[in-house]
A = this chain, B = another copy of it.
Amino acid sequence: MTERPGRRRGGGREGRRAVRSAAAAVTSPYLTRDIPPYEILGEEGLAIIERNADIILEEVGVEIVEFGEALEIYESAGATVEGTRVRFPKGMCRDLTASAPSRFTQHARNPERSVEIGDPHMVLAPAYGSPFVRDLEGGRRYATIEDFRNFAKLTYQSPQLHHAGGTLCEPVDLPVNKRHFDMVYSHVKYSDKPFMGSVTAPERAQDTVDMARIVFGEEFLDENTVIVSLCNANSPLSWDRAMLGSAKVYAENNQATILTPFILAGAMAPVTVAGTAAQTLAEALAGIAFTQIVRPGAPVVLGSFASSMSMQSGAPTFGTPEPALVLWVMAALARRLGVPFRSGGNLTASKVPDAQAAYESAATFFPTLTAGVNFVLHTAGWLEGGLVMGYEKFVLDTDMAGMAGALLAGVDLSDNGQAMDPLLTTGPGQHYLGTEHTLANFESAFWTSQTADSNSFEQWESEGSKAAVDRAHERWRQMLSEYEAPPFDDAVEHELASWIEQRKGSFPDSDVS
């Protein structure tokens, strides 16, 4: 597990050297949390929810949709199968989960960008899955592979994001059944951060693994995790072939999956926080247990995504207090279970990157920061309930996410942090600007936003009275114009491209699914 990734053939040696040289710029490949998680419920409350999840798994169980093999797998481990329903003896899923690692390394093709997923770390990834994009000039439109590539580049260029993410947007100009080739290829070519794989069909998960094998080398892949993928339950209490079949492929190959009940409370779960949490835990446990039956020790992440609902329209709402409560509760439950936790992000229902978008995003992101989330999907770009990936929103969110490091670092109680020397020598009414302590600490003392304007009104006005969205627009355009690809071994790139071309030609295009 300690071996470094990198191809063994062709230009491998030279390639690795180039990678190491580029990687010198990596300062913080992931975050480390030095503040305690915010525990909103005590032992008693958490135990109630755990007990309820067990009862749900035993009495209701989960439905397995069009995936008979999964029924056999569950049955082989002691679950009761009736038709397509799987029920679990009390404690069975929890016992199986014990073999999952509490933390694992996801290797990037640039070893200096490999991330640790699990406590006490936090990895930030961009938004995932939107069919549309939006920017200030072009407005709202269907996403294309060009947009995908743009967001792959912007993510690579954003030091606040540790992870390349997965479906940065849906390249709807490509056939549904072949998009995954171009998405994975883009992640590998335009970035050297760790990435996510396809989950829309088990075959596409296998394609992802095969592509990773070319990039990382056969031996390395067998022993290390280089892909993390997102498998969502069909809440309530249902898992289908696409997601569970993909999870099976990844687990068999020792690759990681994030098993996430994706819940609009009131529609796909009860309207209450405790009810949503119990159902989320039950669904995630069933999914995690599945991966551990397939391959004990396969890396998994317990995911939770819960949104609330407008009482007027039934529309999903974001940045509201109830999902924040679910997030804090689920983080605690994942800690008790001993598996990494995924949740949160910068979520909003707003159509544009306005005050609503920012309030709602921050009202999700702050609970994310204080809960002790280990893997944060949707950190940047999310608009319109996930339907839209926004260019300006992406820039504003990544900037906001930049404060995570300083917040998670907590309070410095060293002598320098206590600052008693300046406190005892600077007189009342004097200022600290020129003190030795301030001068020594000033550059690193405060996190500073790169998109916020904190200047005087007069200066702001003289610079064109720009709103945040205007500054963000300028910034992403400048970033793309300055983009430089990370080094990539020519031989490996050629082999990967050839393999994709051959695979693409081996079956017809389809937009059915």
Evaluate contact between A312 and B448: CB separation under 8 angstroms: yes
Evaluate contact between A266 and B418: CB separation under 8 angstroms: no
Evaluate contact between A238 and B350: CB separation under 8 angstroms: no
* Known A-B contacts A355-B469, A423-B275, A428-B62; A411 and B40 likewise in contact (beta carbons under 8 Å): yes
* Known A-B contacts A358-B358, A362-B366, A413-B48; A419 and B275 likewise in contact (beta carbons under 8 Å): yes
Evaluate contact between B237 and A419: CB separation under 8 angstroms: no
Residues of B contacting A314 with CB < 8 Å? 433
Once bound together, how far apart are the Cα atoms of A166 and B261, in whole Å?
47
Q: Mask for A335-367, Cβ within 8 A of B = 1, else 0?
A: 000000000000001111111111111110011
Evaluate contact between A454 and B274: CB separation under 8 angstroms: no
Taking CB as reference atom, which chain B residue is nearest A239?
A: B428
Residues of B contacting A416 with CB < 8 Å? 272
CB distance from A161 to the nearest CB of B (A): 17
Once bound together, how far apart are the Cα atoms of A85 and B428, in whole Å?
9
Evaluate contact between A400 and B56: CB separation under 8 angstroms: no
Taking CB as reference atom, which chain B residue is nearest A465?
A: B351
Taking CB as reference atom, which chain B residue is nearest A325?
A: B411
Indicate the size class of the contact surface on chain A.
Answer: 35 or more
Once bound together, how far apart are the Cα atoms of A352 and B467, in whole Å?
7
Evaluate contact between A274 and B321: CB separation under 8 angstroms: no
Evaluate contact between A268 and B431: CB separation under 8 angstroms: yes
Task: Give residues 399-427 of A contacting B (CB, 8 Å).
Answer: 400, 403-404, 406-407, 410-413, 416-420, 422-424, 426-427
Partner of A315, one of B319, B396, B407, B455: B455
Evaluate contact between B272 and A236: CB separation under 8 angstroms: no
Residues of B contacting A388 with CB < 8 Å? 457
Task: Give residues 112-147 of A contacting B (CB, 8 Å).
Answer: 140
Once bound together, how far apart are the Cα atoms of A209 and B125, in whole Å?
56
Evaluate contact between B457 and A387: CB separation under 8 angstroms: yes
Task: Give residues 306-325 of A contacting B (CB, 8 Å).
Answer: 308-322, 324-325
Binds B, one of A172-180, A436-444, A489-497: A436-444
Taking CB as reference atom, which chain B residue is nearest A443?
A: B311
Partner of A349, one of B273, B384, B452: B452
Residues of B contacting A35 with CB < 8 Å? 40
CB distance from A484 to the nearest CB of B (A): 25
Residues of B contacting A40 with CB < 8 Å? 35-36, 410-411
Within 8 Å of chain B (Cβ to Cβ): is A255?
A: no
Residues of B contacting A502 with CB < 8 Å? none
Evaluate contact between B423 and A468: CB separation under 8 angstroms: no
Evaluate contact between A55 and B420: CB separation under 8 angstroms: yes
Taking CB as reference atom, which chain B residue is nearest A384?
A: B457
Once bound together, how far apart are the Cα atoms of A312 and B456, in whole Å?
13
Within 8 Å of chain B (Cβ to Cβ): is A429?
A: yes
Evaluate contact between A56 and B423: CB separation under 8 angstroms: yes
Residues of B contacting A62 with CB < 8 Å? 428
Within 8 Å of chain B (Cβ to Cβ): is A446?
A: yes
Once bound together, how far apart are the Cα atoms of A312 and B324, in whole Å?
34
Residues of B contacting A358 with CB < 8 Å? 354-359, 362
Once bound together, how far apart are the Cα atoms of A37 and B452, in whole Å?
29
Once bound together, how far apart are the Cα atoms of A400 and B457, in whole Å?
25
Residues of B contacting A366 with CB < 8 Å? 362-363, 366-367, 370
Q: A320-B406, A356-B396 are in contact. List 11 more A-B contacts (CB 8 A).
A: A36-B39, A56-B424, A271-B432, A272-B418, A308-B446, A311-B443, A317-B448, A318-B454, A320-B446, A351-B453, A388-B457
Q: Which 4 A-B pairs have the closest CB atoms?
A: A275-B419, A362-B362, A358-B358, A270-B419
- Interface pairs (30), CB distance under 8 Å: A36-B39, A40-B411, A45-B413, A48-B413, A49-B418, A52-B418, A60-B424, A60-B428, A236-B430, A266-B445, A268-B431, A271-B441, A271-B445, A275-B417, A311-B443, A311-B446, A314-B433, A316-B454, A317-B449, A322-B406, A353-B355, A356-B358, A356-B449, A357-B358, A358-B359, A359-B452, A359-B468, A362-B366, A363-B366, A366-B366
